[in-house]
Amino acid sequence: MAVPAARLETKATLGVANPRGGLARVLGPDYRLGYLFVTPIAIAVLALVAYPFCYAVYLSLTYKLVGMPPVFVGLENYIRLYDDGFFRRAVYNSFLFTFGSVGFKLVLGMLMALVLMSKIRWRSFWTGVLLIPWVAPTVVSALNFLWIFDGSLGVLNYLLVKVFRILPQGVGWLSEPGTAMASVISVNVWRGFPFFGISFLAGMKAIPGELYEAAAVDGATALQRFMHVTLPGIKNITIIVVLLSTIWTFNDFGIVYILTKGGPGGSTMVMPVLTYETAFGAQRLGEAIAVALYLLPGLALTIVVLARYMRKGRKR
Amino acid sequence: MDSRLRSLAEQLDANVIARREFLRKAAIITGGTAAGLQALNQMAHAQAKTKLRVWLFKSFVTGGNDVLAKQVEAWAKERNVEVEADWSTFGDREQKFVAAIEAGNPPDMAEMNYQGPMRYKPALRDLTKLAKEIAGARGGILPYAERYVLIGNQYFGVPRLAFPGGFFIRRDILEAKGIKPPKTYDPDVIEMARKCQEPAKDLWGLGQTLNRCDDGNGFMQNILWSYGGSVWDKDGKPALGTTYLKENLQALQFAIDTIQKHKIQPPGVMGWNDVSNNEAYLAGKLVSTNNGASLYYAMVAKKHPLAEKTQVILNPGGPAGSFSGTGAYNWGIFSKSKYADLCEDLIRYVEDEKRFEEYMKACIGQAGPVYKTRADHPYWRSDPNFEGMVQNILRSVWTGHPGPITPAAIEVQAQYILCDMAGRVVVGGLAPEAALREAHKRVEDIYKIRNRA
């Protein structure tokens, strides 16, 4: 005979032992079916994310040469890297490259969004044009800039020296530490600012027009409207975009590798390039993974803090 | 559905046969069909060609690449073997090897550079018998090339060729100025460069980067040897900042002076890569540069006007003489290959003297000798520019000289430590001695790590 649902509910509410057991009481009567649904995705995540990640962590604790079995060395790779001046410079360069790029992208992206929000002709056309750097493959962009920045045959020096006669002699864009770092940052900015711009544009379009009208009635200037209506309205989008761009820029390999290979004299060596060189140049795979994982805790912490901040903002 | 099974099903439906009868007959039909398919499958496999995975090296010398591809195809046709030929380049060669070996899926055989036998030895087959057989018929392997393949008493590669290098000079400019080809870097190259260059016209005396690339690496290594120094001592221990400190410091100072003091190099040279000097030379912006024969190939093959105006000479020397490090390319067979005999047969085929001659001529100087009899081939006397190239090869030393070639010596090259050392002075503002000691520490670290293995 079937037990009426109301009676079962009453038993559960009163804490009376459920004949189906504790799990059913906590997770609901269909919890077995839930497992069935969750299992495939859990297996996929374990196989494609958790296993490779755990194996990478293990390898970073080993001395691993190509074609040889790994030998466990504990934290030795991490300790040696900490003492390595070349690695420390790479860490410094990575932060400089990342924050320099993200800062410029933020400003340019905001400008792009504001311009596209204003009443300009052919807005869709300009939106498409500004998206070109974002959709162009990194390798193609970087190779083009390699030619543009070339000290002897590059178009930039040609324009500055021969066409506009601004400089008496060409600049070694990729041959001096300062200009080399500025060059790789500028290419990253060129590639990345449309993402900021388009994201901000989407955010700005979602801000109700009444807010601007009310601010205008109250006598707010354009700057005040931007500071007190636009910026708060796109705060969450800004955080997400900055967060994503920070991660992408920190892991950007192609631009630096193609333009400078970390040179001259290691002045543009960033961590992804160092990881690559340690893996394929030195062929010390354990140490290469240690390079890659070194700043992972810091980055993860940043992500967690930002994500929590965002959630808090949404609750308010 | 099989028509016989359908017929049986219809009979069952019509109660013509019993269920048990249906099952018995269906099992016979299904089993028979499966057995037949299995037999057909086996016959098909018996007739399938053996598939050989071969990795070849694609150099800038496209004429040579085409000849090699054609020869491999011809061999495959003759032996009724299917060859899956894949090309690797300067940019992706090591990455492909590392990925394939680590994945446990290397090719059957591959054309490797000088680092290959030492680096991938755990995954390579001992080729001592074949290497001795081929070398024996060609007067023996040249000493520098043998060092790269002979590890202990075993050969882990069969030498194929070397990319010769040379010092490219604009003969027309030197003749116009009445200057003889330089024999030493200091003072000959400096004086030649100063007298011939015209910075106002963007013509520079020397184009030699010290940046992180193979050209920078090769030059820095050669210049240390030419000044009597080295990264390694005779026992293969680090000597950059110890045994040869004085000589290495002089060599480093000279390299830096070409940019900072003598100003004979174009602006931006520290940002160059391996193709930058080729492009600058072909654009008529350099009086001289160090490069491989591929630059000469590019000029001759494309009938560039500078081909006639260029002379390739021996690398200039220093106080200790003129030294040159040439890397030999080698054939390797991976130990996982099930077709080692076929691989050996292919190596014999392409290394056949007539076939190699065809390849060598298509390469216009790029296929330098690794065997004694090939160095004596009349081809090397057919063009005055070949003389400098082949002489550079004949007096070549190896990575690690004057010590043995070691994994540590290979890694110092692969990590561009000498380029970083020069770069730290030229663009990093470090004193030469401080940069040298910094580099020495990196070399020592590599030595310790590698020796643990």
pLDDT of amino acid B100: 95
pLDDT of amino acid A30: 79
pLDDT of amino acid A315: 56
Domain ranges across chain A: 83-315
Contacts of A283 in chain B (CB under 8 A): 94, 98, 119, 411, 414
pLDDT of amino acid B268: 87
pLDDT of amino acid A2: 45
Q: Mean pLDDT over residues B18-43, rounded?
A: 68
In angstroms, the separation between the Cα of residue A209 and the nearest Cα of chain B is 51
Record: contact B446-A282, CB cut-off 8 A: yes
pLDDT (tens digit per residue) in A58-113 = 999 999 988 889 999 999 999 999 999 889 999 999 999 999 999 999 999 999 99
Q: Mean pLDDT over residues B160-188, rounded?
A: 95
pLDDT of amino acid A7: 46
Record: contact A265-B442, CB cut-off 8 A: no
Please tell me if residue B449 touches chain A, with a CB cutoff of 8 Å: yes
In angstroms, the separation between the Cα of residue A169 and the nearest Cα of chain B is 8
pLDDT (tens digit per residue) in A16-27 = 445 556 777 777
pLDDT of amino acid B80: 93
Give the integer Cα–Cα distance in Å for B85 and B230. 39
For B170, B177, B197, B264, the CA distances from B305, given in Å and listed in that order, are 12, 20, 19, 24
Which residues, in sequence order, are CB contacts of B386 under 8 Å at separation 6+? Answer: B312, B365, B379, B380
Give the integer Cα–Cα distance in Å for B315 and B213. 19
pLDDT of amino acid A151: 81
pLDDT of amino acid A13: 46
pLDDT of amino acid A15: 45
For A40, A45, A248, A279, A294, the CA distances from A52, given in Å and listed in that order, are 18, 10, 20, 17, 16
Record: contact A173-B268, CB cut-off 8 A: yes
Record: contact A264-B276, CB cut-off 8 A: no
pLDDT of amino acid B60: 85
Helix (H), strand (E) at residue B355? helix B353-363
Contacts of A264 in chain B (CB under 8 A): 210-212, 270-271, 423, 426-427
Contacts of A260 in chain B (CB under 8 A): 271
- Can you give the three-state secondary structure of A284-315, one letter per residue? EHHHHHHHHHCCHHHHHHHHHHHHHHHHHHHH
ipTM for the predicted complex comes to 0.79
- The torsion region of residue A3 among left (phi > 0), alpha (psi -120 to 50) and beta comes to beta
Residues of B numbered 220-259 whose beta carbons fall under 8 angstroms of chain A's beta carbons: which are they? Answer: none
Please report how many Cα atoms fall inside a 13 Å half-sphere around the Cα of residue A192, on the Cβ side.
Answer: 28
Please tell me if residue B265 touches chain A, with a CB cutoff of 8 Å: no
pLDDT of amino acid A184: 96
Give the integer Cα–Cα distance in Å for A79 and A65. 18
Record: contact A282-B101, CB cut-off 8 A: no
Average confidence score pLDDT of chain B = 91
How large is the angle between the packed helices B62-79 and B340-350, nearest 10 degrees?
A: 130
Contacts of A176 in chain B (CB under 8 A): 270-271, 427
Q: Are A139 and A254 in contact (CB under 8 A)?
A: yes
Which of B95, B217, B270 would best serve as a mutation to test chain A binding (most A beta carbons within 10 A)? B270
pTM exceeding the 0.90 threshold for the entire prediction: no
Q: Are A209 and A223 in contact (CB under 8 A)?
A: no
Q: Given B123, B213, B269, which is nearest A67 (Cβ)?
A: B123
pLDDT of amino acid B36: 66
pLDDT (tens digit per residue) in B347-396 = 999 999 999 999 999 999 989 999 999 999 999 999 999 988 999 999 89
pLDDT (tens digit per residue) in B97-128 = 999 999 999 999 999 999 999 999 999 999 99
pLDDT, greater one: A265 or B362: B362
Residue of A nearest to B427 (CA): A176
Which residues, in sequence order, are CB contacts of A239 under 8 Å at separation 6+? Answer: A306, A309, A310
CATH superfamily for A83-315 is MetI-like (1.10.3720.10)
pLDDT (tens digit per residue) in B248-289 = 999 999 999 999 999 999 988 999 989 899 999 999 999 999
Percent of chain B with pLDDT over 70: 94
Please tell me if residue B434 touches chain A, with a CB cutoff of 8 Å: no
User: A184-193, B7-16, B193-202: which range is least confident on average?
Assistant: B7-16
pLDDT band at residue A5 using 50, 70 and 90 as cut-offs: very low
Please tell me if residue B98 touches chain A, with a CB cutoff of 8 Å: yes
Please tell me if residue B268 touches chain A, with a CB cutoff of 8 Å: yes
In angstroms, the separation between the Cα of residue A175 and the nearest Cα of chain B is 4
Record: contact A176-B270, CB cut-off 8 A: yes
Q: Are B365 and B295 in contact (CB under 8 A)?
A: no
The helix/strand/coil state of B98 is helix
Residue of A nearest to B441 (CA): A84
